Amino acid sequence: RAGWPGIIRAYPDRIAVPPGAEVITLGEGNTPLLAAPHLSELTGATVYLKTEGVNPTGSFKDRGMTVAVTHAKAIGREAVLCASTGNTSASAAAYAARAGLTCAVLVPNGKIALGKLAQAVAYGARILQIDGNFDDCLELAQKTAAEYPIELVNSVNPVRLIGQRTVAWEVCDVLGRAPDIHFLPVGNAGNITALWQGYKAYQRDGVIEALPRLFGFQAEGAAPIVRGKPVPNPETIATAIRVGSPASWAGAVTAREESGGLVDAVSDEQILAAYKVLAGREGVFVEPASAASVAGLLACAADGRLPRGATVVCTVTGHGLKDPDTALLGMAEVQPVPVDHTAVAAALELA
Ligand code: F0G
């Protein structure tokens, strides 16, 4: 990553910022596109993982936030605001800190993973834990930003999604083509919307010939797009995608229809199974929401929706350290071991 300038300077012709704007970057983007040998063997496809947890605040949100905060600062804003299930708030807080702006975040009380809350605290955000879910937080944020001088940096702010297109471009730049299928988790649906816009821009400009199919996955208890109607009380262990009424619903439907793809649901059990395969077999520790893409891949391989030999990319959207509580679920009671190497050997059943 040495010398990588961040996505705004890496794609200057594709990401416009106001003339003379100070670019607010933490070196986001250029994340590894990692071959996944175990998943390839399991599925009969050639599987790559786009490891977005490697970004500066540990999720793909940094790609949109560099653009949103650069704009906010350039137009003279002193404060930014967002609603979040955790990652957007961590990212907004970091980029605002870097820009010297105040950041306020609205998060659902008790439903944000510990690491994300720790980040917002460390970066110095004003944190309001709202007695409601993400959908309530987003509505409040939109109403507040409409009436007061504070810049909304959720994905309803169109410049954010322009930054998030860069995942598509980086994948094509590395593969020399688009994958056959791109799998990703879906929550508020900004990411699937941006990914599709990104691939289409590359095709329009002749950088790639064929477009991929996009396969998006929601959590079963928070699957409004799959059900075709909002879910009033969304529930899932994957708190990042605990969204009942996605802001970019229409964009997700466009991506599904135009790409010949799908938006389907995976259960929390499937998400946790994929989470364990990723960490335990590929060495890639992601947060539960991120594992929804791989849970979807495994489901499609099992029921024949995945063509054999296909080249596929799964976006794994956030780092596993975001949610230490889920990682420690089911951990056995820790037994202390005496300071004695034979006791260590006995505990490890080496003899
Ligand atoms: N994966 C992770 C780790 C996320 O944090 C999110 C969204 C998604 C997937 C889904 O992306 O919303 O564009 O469909 N997190 C938002 C937040 C809602 O507030 O951080 P999406």
25 within domain boundaries: yes
- Tens digits of residue pLDDT in 262-280: 999 999 999 999 999 999 9
CA of 28 relative to ligand 1 center, distance in Å: 17
Last residue of a domain, one of 109, 131, 159: 159
The HSE-up count of residue 12 (CA atoms within 13 Å, CB side) is: 5
Give the DSSP letter string of 110-124.
T-S-HHHHHHHHHTT
Same-domain status, 127 and 209 = no
Identify the bridge partners of residue 109 per DSSP, sorted by sequence position.
none
Q: Which atom of ligand 1 is nearest to the CA of 184?
A: 9
- Structure-derived torsion over alpha carbons of residues 17, 22, 23, 24, reported in degrees to the nearest 10: -120
Same-domain status, 122 and 206 = no
CA of 341 relative to ligand 1 center, distance in Å: 46
Query: In whole angstroms, what is the distance from residue 238 CA to residue 220 CA?
Result: 10
First to last CA, the chain: 44
Q: Which atom of ligand 1 is nearest to the CA of 83?
A: 19
Quick check: 102 pLDDT over 80?
Answer: yes
Last residue of a domain, one of 159, 186, 217: 159
pLDDT at 46: 98
Same-domain status, 126 and 226 = no
Same-domain status, 15 and 55 = yes
Q: Which atom of ligand 1 is nearest to the CA of 52?
A: 3
CA of 242 relative to ligand 1 center, distance in Å: 9
Quick check: 104 pLDDT over 60?
Answer: yes
- Tens digits of residue pLDDT in 49-97: 999 999 999 999 999 999 999 999 999 999 999 999 999 999 999 999 9
- Tens digits of residue pLDDT in 227-237: 999 999 999 99
**How much is the average pLDDT of 22-32?**
98
CATH code of residue 201: 3.40.50.1100
Helix, strand, coil shares of the chain as percentages rounded to 5?
Answer: 45, 15, 40
pLDDT at 1: 46
Query: In whole angstroms, what is the distance from residue 37 CA to residue 41 CA?
Result: 6
Q: Among the residues of 184-248, which ranges form H helices?
A: 190-204, 224-227
344 within domain boundaries: no
Same-domain status, 110 and 122 = yes
Same-domain status, 48 and 71 = no
182 within domain boundaries: yes
Q: Which atom of ligand 1 is nearest to the CA of 322?
A: 3
349 within domain boundaries: no
- Tens digits of residue pLDDT in 289-341: 999 999 999 999 999 999 999 999 999 999 999 999 999 997 888 889 999 99
Same-domain status, 205 and 250 = yes
Nearest CA to ligand 1 atom 6: 240
Question: Residues in the chain, how many?
Answer: 351
337 within domain boundaries: no
Q: What are phi and psi of 185, to 5 degrees?
A: -75, 155
Same-domain status, 44 and 70 = no
- In testing the pocket of ligand 1, which one of 50, 54, 57, 61 has its CB within 8 Å of the most ligand atoms? 61
Same-domain status, 166 and 253 = yes
348 within domain boundaries: no
Site residues for ligand 1, CB cut-off 6 Å: 59, 61, 84-88, 185-191, 240-241, 243, 287, 289-290, 317-318
Neighbouring residues of 334: CB distance < 8 A, sequence distance ≥ 6: none
Counts of helices then strands in the chain (DSSP H, E): 15, 10
pLDDT at 2: 60
350 within domain boundaries: no
pLDDT at 318: 98
- Tens digits of residue pLDDT in 105-161: 999 999 999 999 999 999 999 999 999 999 999 999 999 999 999 999 999 999 999
- 112: domain range? 61-159
**How much is the average pLDDT of 217-234?**
98
Same-domain status, 191 and 285 = yes
176 within domain boundaries: yes
Quick check: 259 pLDDT over 70?
Answer: yes
Last residue of a domain, one of 159, 180, 207: 159
Q: Kindly indicate whether the ipTM for this predicted assembly is greater than 0.95, answering yes or no.
A: yes
What is the token pair recorded at 49? 């993982």
Query: In whole angstroms, what is the distance from residue 48 CA to residue 170 CA?
Result: 13
Q: Among the residues of 11-124, which ranges form H helices?
A: 37-43, 61-74, 87-99, 114-122
CA of 250 relative to ligand 1 center, distance in Å: 16
Domains: count for the chain: 2
CA of 328 relative to ligand 1 center, distance in Å: 22
Query: In whole angstroms, what is the distance from residue 180 CA to residue 19 CA?
Result: 38
CA of 289 relative to ligand 1 center, distance in Å: 8
pLDDT > 90 in the chain, percent? 97
Q: What is the H or E stretch that residue 170 is in? A: helix 166-175
Query: In whole angstroms, what is the distance from residue 280 CA to residue 150 CA?
Result: 43
Residue type at 14? R
Quick check: 251 pLDDT over 80?
Answer: yes
CA of 224 relative to ligand 1 center, distance in Å: 15
Same-domain status, 37 and 168 = yes
Same-domain status, 212 and 67 = no
